[in-house]
A and B are shown apart, each in its own frame.
Chain A
Amino acid sequence: MEIRFAGYGGQGIILMGNIAAKAAVLYDGKNAVYTPSYGPEARGGAASSNVIIASEEIDYPYVTSIDILVAMSQLGYENNAPLLKDDGLLIIDSDLVRLKNGAGKVAKIQSTRLAEQLGKRIVANIVMLGFFTAVTKVVSYEAMKKAVLETVPAKYKELNEKALEIGYREGEKWQE
């Protein structure tokens, strides 16, 4: 299962990959590898992170064709959509990504708007991770929750847990 999270620097795109893979390895007992895309910029510009999850040994750690693309910016969508498999799943923040014709399977959420309603736009990535968890089921909700809570600073645990849950509830409503 090859997954790419794509957006722009500052959205927490890199962290999304880290948390998703950590959830799979530490709390679901699966094999996963996470590779950040590593450019010279600290913020701004295109950002992406890559996760491969498998039950068997993972030889090549980089994404070659995408099963699940999570796009949180127009550029992230346009740059990576050509690598998405024909039967792959596209997950977007529908306020940030305008789809072109011929998109295949798509799941949409207004993750940034939902995060703003929580009072912190910065947790849009965690809302999206919750949505991702419900829609794809590649990691369990429990594992994802543990990975989020283990990663975020103590005083933001509650906020992030709420963000994850809101995203997850949205995801449960999604139907193919």
Chain B
Amino acid sequence: MKNKGEVKFWNGSIAIAEGAIAAGCRFFAGYPITPASDIAEYMALRLPQEDGVFIQMEDEIASIAALIGASWGGAKAMTSTSGPGFSLMQENIGLAAATETPLVIAEVQRAGPSTGMPTLVGQGDVMQARWGSHGEYETIVISPSSPQESFDLIIRAFNLAELYRVPVIFLTDECVAHMYERVVVPPKEEIEVVERLKPNVPPEEYMPFKPINDIAPMATAGMGYRVHVTGLTHNEKGYPMTTSPEVQEWMVRHICDKIRRNEPKIRDIEEYRMEDAEIAIVAFGITARAAKAAVKMARRHGIKAGLIRLKTIWPFPEPYFDNIADSVKKILVAEINYGQVKLEVERSVHGKTSVELIPKFGGEPHKPFEIYEKIKEVKNGN
């Protein structure tokens, strides 16, 4: 438990909003949707107090479009939504990725598909958060398991967005967003806040998409630089080059590799009782809390189980799992869907260990004993 700082009693939604403000977010555009509206409602109250801007847009397509504009205007920008709204945002997520625009989308997952079960939890948008828009691109996807982490990790989400000029998806869920718990807010000066790299060359020399060590400095409106921002395939100057194979290859490699190359730095995994674990449970978000309780039950019964909790899901930590596969006999993946992270784990272990899914349906989180029963079954099958 953290102790230093001011103790608050917040739910995950408030923690996201306050964390975003602490990270420097001063622009929010969104459209109400259960169970994500709490974040927008809270931002509508708080942002004007911080000289920020809150706009309720006509829909989610406009919301993310406004974020892209705000970001090029120099603001740190966020929206919040849930599955159906996230689907509507996909086209412009591609635009943000192609134009290397830093922004943060807080996605409070509910049970799908389609409009599904608006008030009940799901974790079915893991693949969508990575692959939802067309063409080749990368995103960073973060998953918190508590209100405290909602605060801490939304700050990281903004920092990574700024650092890598990339849309970051903050993939939380209805359970974590609505549960209230202790949140310790550190003193302002102890919160690390990253600002995007800005150009310092004369305007005639500036190239808005020419990377220096992976990332291009980003000029924003009013700085005196001319910038052309387009979703069309563009060169380092930002000019459309829609028939050049070389430019398309360069651009796609660049927007993907700046994330892929830095996966070890972006990676954020918490291990619990993994030191001698034979059976590893992989979980994220609310599910990780049931999984941790299940690991404790297993340990009490002498079963060597451990928990791998993903705080970042994308870029997927392939090398980590390739390595873990050498030391565990079995990996179980618990998620509130019909198998998404499970596929990635399976791909990453290269057949060295078997991977099984503990799915969950019905708009409810797993109960600890459901995961424990599966651990026991696997143990007895050994």
Nearest residue (CB) in A for B295 is A59
Report if B119 contacts A (CB, 8 A): yes
Q: Are A39 and B119 in contact (CB under 8 A)?
A: yes
Contacts of A35 in B (CB 8 A): 175, 178-180
Report if B253 contacts A (CB, 8 A): no
The number of chain A residues with a CB under 8 A from chain B is 21
**In chain A, residues 1-47, which have Cβ atoms closer than 8 Å to a Cβ of chain B?**
18, 21-22, 25-26, 31-36, 38-40
Q: Are B180 and A38 in contact (CB under 8 A)?
A: no
Q: Are B289 and A38 in contact (CB under 8 A)?
A: no
Q: Are B9 and A26 in contact (CB under 8 A)?
A: yes
Contacts of B181 in A (CB 8 A): 25, 32-34, 58, 61
Q: Are A59 and B292 in contact (CB under 8 A)?
A: yes
The number of chain B residues with a CB under 8 A from chain A is 23
Contacts of A26 in B (CB 8 A): 7-9
The prevalent SS among residues of B at the interface is: mixed
Nearest residue (CB) in A for B364 is A62
Partner of A38, one of B8, B174, B290: B174
**In chain B, residues 275-331, which have Cβ atoms closer than 8 Å to a Cβ of chain A?**
286, 289-290, 292-293, 296
Report if A60 contacts B (CB, 8 A): yes
Contacts of B286 in A (CB 8 A): 61
Q: Are B9 and A61 in contact (CB under 8 A)?
A: no
Partner of A61, one of B35, B174, B289: B289
Partner of B35, one of A34, A38, A62: A38
Partner of B119, one of A34, A40, A60, A64: A40
Nearest residue (CB) in A for B8 is A26
Contacts of A36 in B (CB 8 A): 178
Contacts of A62 in B (CB 8 A): 365, 367
Contacts of A34 in B (CB 8 A): 179-181
Contacts of A61 in B (CB 8 A): 175, 179, 181, 286, 289
Report if A57 contacts B (CB, 8 A): yes
Q: Are B178 and A60 in contact (CB under 8 A)?
A: no
**In chain B, residues 23-45, which have Cβ atoms closer than 8 Å to a Cβ of chain A?**
35
Nearest residue (CB) in A for B288 is A59
Contacts of B290 in A (CB 8 A): 59-60
Q: Can you report 12 residue pairs joining A to B where beta carbons are below 8 Å apart?
A: A22-B9, A26-B8, A38-B35, A38-B119, A39-B119, A57-B1, A58-B181, A59-B289, A60-B368, A61-B175, A61-B286, A64-B367
